[in-house]
Structure 1
């Protein structure tokens, strides 16, 4: 049967690869030829429309598996949805394998600014300077790795830039306090 679970899963994966992972060469013609060669063009276009809407619905709310089950149950009960248990199983497997990947791509596409990839620091003890013989003051040497997240494909723009700088103990305390506040805010928002 042309509409087997395997073919339906292949169509879902093909649409995800085209719509979310940038594989534009996977046109409807290519997908039809490789997955559903016996369907008419009209039937295939209708199936692609249904599958695209299905994937968009799941992606829009980043459905967890409980939400997915409720969604698929409602789709199976709808007479005009074309969803049956065999297709629902294909959707479950597809979503299990692709959910995090699609989510990561969506997040990446919505970031316009540079982002902090890594932060490391260490404490050094300054022992002398050009004009002062003995200082004995602690300083923090900080290294930030920032990557550009521009939407271009230029490899140069995707490379991470590394920034080095020093801070005295007062400035370090202030930065650590700010980082602690950021951590608390993230924890508060992620628990809601």
Structure 2
């Protein structure tokens, strides 16, 4: 039973570290985690455990380790001597935790690494221009494109573009050239 409690506490510690570091939850502090999960441990003992788990999570997350890489990494950590290594229960808990949380941690890291606004949405339609600027009737088809730009959680900005048939053809030609360039690079490697 003590092993199960130890595994749950370690999993909760890893979750707390992840919530604070990767998801920005400032309510979860080191003192909160110690008092809730390891009240019988001294502050120094807890800090060593907390820092070790935080460091291991950082290494695993920054490398975005898949299952094979994680197993090799954890095996190396269990072979280390002294307080810098992991015991097999800690390695197992860390492995289970990473398997369950890898995608969310990765999404968070990707979101944190975007400095510029990104494309959040795109809408388009084709309309007819019914009049020209001097009052003459034109009846030319135009493509109207609305781009939604912004960062997650922030207010979006919209950019509206209007393309006539020639500009649509030019954009399609440039996109085809770009695809050819990408294909040539991919096929070379």
Query: TM-score normalized by structure 1?
Result: 0.82
Q: Could you tell me which residue of structure 2 aligns to residue 152 of structure 1?
A: none
For structure 1, the 5+ residue unaligned runs are: 150-154
Tell me how large the CA RMSD over aligned residues is.
2.6
Matched, 1:90 2:93: yes
The partner residue of 1:108 within 90, 95, 111 is 111
Deviation (angstroms), 1:183: 5.7
For structure 2, the 5+ residue unaligned runs are: none
Query: TM-score normalized by structure 2?
Result: 0.83
For 1:37 and 1:184, locate their aligned partners in 2 and report how far apart those are by CA, in whole Å: 61
The partner residue of 1:161 within 139, 154, 157 is 157
1:52-131 correspondence runs (5 A):
52-80=54-82, 81-129=84-132, 131=135
The partner residue of 1:132 within 112, 136, 146 is 136
Between 108-117 and 45-54, report the one with greater CA deviation: 108-117
Q: Could you tell me which residue of structure 2 aligns to residue 7 of structure 1?
A: 9
Q: Where is the helix percentage greater, Structure 1 or Structure 2?
A: 2
For 1:112 and 1:182, locate their aligned partners in 2 and report how far apart those are by CA, in whole Å: 24
1:18-33 correspondence runs (5 A):
18-33=20-35
User: Quick one: higher RCO (CA 8 Å, sep 6+), 1 or 2?
Assistant: 1
